[in-house]
Amino acid sequence: MQMQAAMLTEAHSPFKIETIDIDPPKAGEVLVKMAAAGICHSDWHLVAGKAPFPAPIILGHEGSGIIEAVGAGVKRVKPGDHVTLSWKACCGECFYCQQDQPAICDAHAAEINAGLMSDGTARMRWRGERVYILGGLGTFAEYAVVRQESVVPIRKDVPLAVAALVGCAVSTGVGAAIYTAEVRPGQSVAVFGAGGVGLNIIQGAALCGADPIIAVDANSNKMEIARDFGATHCLMSDDSVVAEIQKLSEGRGADHCFESVGIPALQETAIAAVRPGGIVTLVGITPQDAGTTILGQVITVSERKIRGSAYGSVNPTRDFHLFLDLYQAGKLKLEELVTQRYRLDEINEAYASMLTGGVARGVIVF
């Protein structure tokens, strides 16, 4: 079978739409006809040369679709099922899954990081050459062959463009507030970065009953949408932001600060803006070679805590359902996140638009 895919052949070059040969799913694998794929900032690190990758590769780690075929032994889904794809293929059995920390499950990590399937081979070829996939998925393509652990069957009454976002931005953001930080009612929250993930941290904090919820961004255009998602105050990211946050929290600093972008200097500001004894949750992924300066004494004597949040500490199988149920109940805004829709061959425009901060979330619709 053949399909169209957006391929990255080297860093610092645009995506190219190519015709790819695709093999049927092997045992334990499924073929997904993609419906939607989200434009997430994390893929950009590879394009920008900030993270090494095997090439040629199909990027995209946020998506939804319909199961077209299943390989031998697949019990989790059947053809016709709607699914949201998960970039963490949780095994349910490893040490981390047993500790109820499936977001850091390491069962398939080595092969997924290598861009391959669990048997160490690939299902895609381009001009006879092996094609790698990101996150065990590769959603920037008409079809994906993935492990059955990489899909979560979902209710069919949810638009698939909305369901795609649950696979990364929503889980990462809402999960960070609910699970990683464990925000409590009445606590003060500051969220640095009001993009796709930041808006979800804001609505996650609102679900937890936080007040005030302070959105911080360098782009004043994002203030209005931040308020729509539950921010009670919006601040520009400038030299006075720490003092402004302290003013809104009786001089102490916020109970919780979240950094959603992955910029070391912004992480340092988030640490400065949290109150003594408060919790800083780092959500954004920094470039691989970047370091963040943490003043050890400030952490020790004031008991400020720093938590890393991978995938919002969610359990994809459990929480994709939870988030879609909350959406259907009118308690989570998902449709409003999709501010721009693109065709696959518009992917370079989609990323250009994301980089200028113009959209909450762009989604490729197939």
Which residues form the catalytic set? Answer: 40, 42, 45, 61, 168
Q: Does 207 bind Zn ion (CB under 5 A)?
A: no
Q: Does 360 bind Zn ion (CB under 5 A)?
A: no
Closest distance of CB 69 from Zn ion, Å: 26
Q: Which stretch binds Zn ion (CB under 5 A): 37-45, 65-73, 232-240, 260-268?
A: 37-45
DSSP run (H or E) holding 247: helix 241-247
Answer for which of 97, 154, 194, 214 binds Zn ion (CB under 5 A) is 97
CA distance 160 to 162: 5
Q: Which stretch binds Zn ion (CB under 5 A): 65-73, 102-110, 135-143, 221-229?
A: 102-110
CA distance 366 to 348: 16
Q: How many CA within 13 A on the CB side of residue 161?
A: 15
Q: Does 42 bind Zn ion (CB under 5 A)?
A: yes
Report residue 186 as tokens: 């009445």
- 302 DSSP 8-state letter: T
- Positions 168 through 187 that interact with Zn ion (CB under 5 A): 168
Q: Does 109 bind Zn ion (CB under 5 A)?
A: no
In the block, which residue shows the tokens 């803006």?
273
Name the 3-class secondary structure at 57. Answer: strand
> Of the two residues 253 and 262, which places its CB atom closer to Zn ion in the complex?
262
CA distance 98 to 114: 25
CA distance 148 to 216: 39
Q: Does 105 bind Zn ion (CB under 5 A)?
A: yes
Q: Does 40 bind Zn ion (CB under 5 A)?
A: yes
Answer for which of 46, 66, 94, 109 binds Zn ion (CB under 5 A) is 94
- 65 DSSP 8-state letter: E
Closest distance of CB 98 from Zn ion, Å: 8
Name the 3-class secondary structure at 141. Answer: strand
Residues 96-108 as b or e (16 or more Cβ within 10 Å = b): bbeeeebbbbebb
> Of the two residues 249 and 260, which places its CB atom closer to Zn ion in the complex?
260
Q: Going residue by residue from 296 to 335, which x/- string records binding to Zn ion, judged by CB under 5 A?
A: ----------------------------------------
> Of the two residues 105 and 190, which places its CB atom closer to Zn ion in the complex?
105
Q: Does 57 bind Zn ion (CB under 5 A)?
A: no
Q: What's at 265, amino acid-wise?
A: A
> Of the two residues 44 and 126, which places its CB atom closer to Zn ion in the complex?
44
CA distance 36 to 161: 5
Name the 3-class secondary structure at 123. Answer: coil
Omega of the bond leading into 56 within 30 degrees of 0 (cis): yes
> Of the two residues 274 and 354, which places its CB atom closer to Zn ion in the complex?
354
Q: Does 107 bind Zn ion (CB under 5 A)?
A: yes
Q: Which residues bind Zn ion (CB under 5 A)?
A: 40, 42, 91, 94, 97, 105, 107, 168
